[in-house]
């Protein structure tokens, strides 16, 4: 037998150490099923694109794109 060891933690207090970016994941997981659908993921991308498209013409110039430089942030884990 191959029992799934997946443990859903919907709504429960964080007792396990989540992987980095758990907070971002929860924010994107709008239906709360602990999975990110393409649409849930795409909302984030769509928002980033709209924010980068300074003149709102639906396309990014090189200058607009350059302003989207990703933040380099070290993953943090509060595991002990
Ligand atoms: Ca989801
Ligand atoms: Ca533009």
Q: Which residue ranges make up each domain of the chain? A: 22-55
| Predicted local confidence at residue 69, as pLDDT | 78
Residue-wise pLDDT for 4-39, tens only, equals 444 445 555 555 677 888 999 999 999 999 999 999
| Predicted local confidence at residue 72, as pLDDT | 72
Ligand nearest to the CA of 43: 1
| Predicted local confidence at residue 16, as pLDDT | 62
pTM of the model: 0.53
Residue-wise pLDDT for 34-76, tens only, equals 999 999 999 988 999 999 999 999 999 999 999 987 667 666 6
In order, the DSSP letters of the chain are: ---------TTS---SPPPTTHHHHHHH-TT-SSS--HHHHHHHHHHHHHHH-TT-SSS--HHHHHTTPPP---------
Q: Ligand 2 being an ion, which residues bring their Cβ within 5 A of it?
A: 53, 55, 57
Ligand 2 centroid to 68 CA: how many Å? 12
8 burial class (0-12, 13-18, 19+ CB within 10 angstroms)?
exposed
């Amino acid at each position: 037998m191959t029992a799934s060891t997946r443990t859903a933690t919907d709504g429960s207090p964080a007792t396990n150490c989540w992987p980095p970016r758990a907070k971002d994941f929860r924010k994107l997981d709008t239906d709360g099923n602990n999975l990110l659908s393409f649409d849930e993921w795409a909302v984030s991308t769509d928002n980033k694109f709209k924010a980068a498209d300074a003149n709102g013409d639906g396309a990014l110039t090189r200058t607009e794109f350059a302003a989207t430089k990703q933040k380099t942030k070290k993953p943090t884990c509060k595991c002990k």
